[in-house]
Structures are given as C-alpha cells and as structure tokens.
C-alpha cells in the first residue's frame, strides 16, 4: 500500500498545480474548486489502485476532473463555471477558414497593450462560447498539448487545432471591439 501510495503521489505531484488551476476554471467558487480537485484525486486513486500496471498520464487526470465537473453540472450539485461540452456538441458549429485575417487591433504602445490585456482579457475570454473557451483553458491553464487536449475532449487533433484557431480569432475580435469602444486606440506611427 505504501509503495502504491508513493507511486501515486510521485505520478500526481508534478501535475497538482495545473490540476488545481483547471479546477478553478471548471468550478465557480474556491470551495467547489478544492472539492473538485479532491474528488478527482480520490477517483484517480481508486482507479490507480485497481490498475497499477497501466500507463498513466496527466490527460487521464484531466479527463476524470472533466467527467466529475460534467456530472456536477448535470446534477446541479455545484455551480460549474466552465461548461464541459458533450461529445455531440463538439463538432464545429460553423465552417471557418483558418486563413481568414485576424481582426485588426488598434495600434497602441506595447505598455498600453499589456495594460489593456491585463484589464480586459478575462472579460473577452469569459464571453467565448464554452467549446472554444475550454480548449483555451485546457491549453493555457492545463498546459496540455493539442494531442493531450484531443485525448481529454476525445476528438481528433485537427479538431482541437481548428477550434483553437477559431477561439483565438474570436478572442482577438472581442478584444479589438473592446479596445475601440473604450478608446484605447492610439494613432499608429507612420
């Protein structure tokens, strides 16, 4: 038992911080995030005990967390903030040309741009539709590769790549709109 516990802790510990960050994105409150992490670890530990010869990887932990979040959302037991999306809804909602130009951002100094992002990026991210926000969160907060994201979402890598491209374009469009509406525009130097 001690050896198994050692192995489990050795496997999980490097991913713990990222798992907690993801839990904070899936759950609405800090308490629910702590519970989501705990429930994830508990379920992983039970399965780890039963199949100790299996090859484990961090995407497996994220799949468990996502399934729990999905269950909670269905049962309305907790308020889930980042909606996990059903497989049926994972097909791209509209065709999009990956070579479309990015929305032009108003020209502003590097310092202004960073300040603007720090103030408005969360707002723009929150406004993304759930399938798009989730790939961004899994990639950035979870530090998962596209292949790992595809394992978590159970879809092809190409779908992740396409959804990521669209997510980032939409994010950029929203940022551009916000920047203009709030007067962040600076005249571009000739």
Partner 1 sequence: MTCHEMREYLIAFLDSELDAALSIEAQRHLERCHECAREVEIEREIRRGLERCLVVGQADAVAEESLHALRRVTGRADAIRPQTRFVLRRRVGVALAAAALVALGLFGWQRFNVGERASPGGFAKWMVEDFQHFIDEGSEVQFASADRHAVSQWLLQKTTLAVNVPGPADREIELRGGRKCKRNGTPVAFAAYAIEGAPASLVALPDDGNVLNSMQSVRLNGHMHWVDHCNGHTVVACRRGELVYAAVGQLPEEQLLRLMPANVDETEGTP
Give contact residues for partner 1 (rule: CB under 8 A): 1, 5, 8-9, 12-13, 16-17, 19-21, 24-25, 28, 31, 34-35, 37-39, 41-42, 44-45, 73, 79-81, 83, 98-102, 105, 110, 113-114, 117-118, 121-122, 125, 129-130, 136-137, 139-141, 145-146, 161, 164-165, 168, 171-172, 175
**Bridge partner residues of 80 (DSSP):** 27
- Judged by beta carbon, residue 165 or residue 185, the one nearer partner 1 is 165
Q: How far is the CB of 34 from partner 1 (least distance, A)?
A: 7
Q: How far is the CB of 126 from partner 1 (least distance, A)?
A: 8
Q: How far apart are CA 157 and CA 172, in angstroms?
A: 22
Angle between helices 16-26 and 130-140 (to 10 degrees): 160
Q: How far is the CB of 84 from partner 1 (least distance, A)?
A: 11
Q: Rounded to 5 degrees, what are φ and ψ at 27?
A: -95, 155
Question: Of 15, 65, 13, whose CA–CA distance to 42 is shortest?
Answer: 65
End-to-end CA distance of the chain: 69
- Judged by beta carbon, residue 54 or residue 147, the one nearer partner 1 is 147
- Judged by beta carbon, residue 23 or residue 63, the one nearer partner 1 is 23
Q: How far is the CB of 63 from partner 1 (least distance, A)?
A: 17
């Amino acid at each position: 038992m001690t050896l198994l516990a050692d192995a489990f802790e050795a496997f999980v510990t490097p991913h713990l911080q990222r798992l907690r960050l993801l839990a904070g994105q899936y759950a609405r409150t800090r308490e629910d995030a702590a519970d989501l992490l705990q429930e994830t670890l508990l379920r992983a530990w039970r399965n780890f005990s039963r199949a100790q010869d299996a090859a484990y990887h961090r995407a497996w932990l994220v799949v468990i967390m996502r399934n729990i979040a999905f269950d909670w959302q269905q049962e309305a037991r907790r308020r889930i903030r980042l909606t996990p999306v059903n497989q049926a809804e994972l097909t791209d909602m509209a065709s999009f040309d990956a070579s479309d130009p990015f929305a032009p951002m108003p020209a502003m100094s590097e310092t202004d741009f960073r300040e603007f992002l720090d103030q408005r990026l969360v707002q723009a991210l929150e406004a993304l539709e759930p399938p798009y926000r989730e790939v961004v969160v899994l990639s950035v907060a979870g530090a998962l590769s596209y292949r790992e994201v595809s394992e978590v979402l159970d879809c092809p890598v190409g779908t992740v790549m396409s959804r990521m491209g669209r997510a980032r374009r939409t994010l950029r469009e929203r940022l551009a709109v916000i920047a203009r509406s709030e007067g962040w525009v600076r005249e571009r130097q000739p």
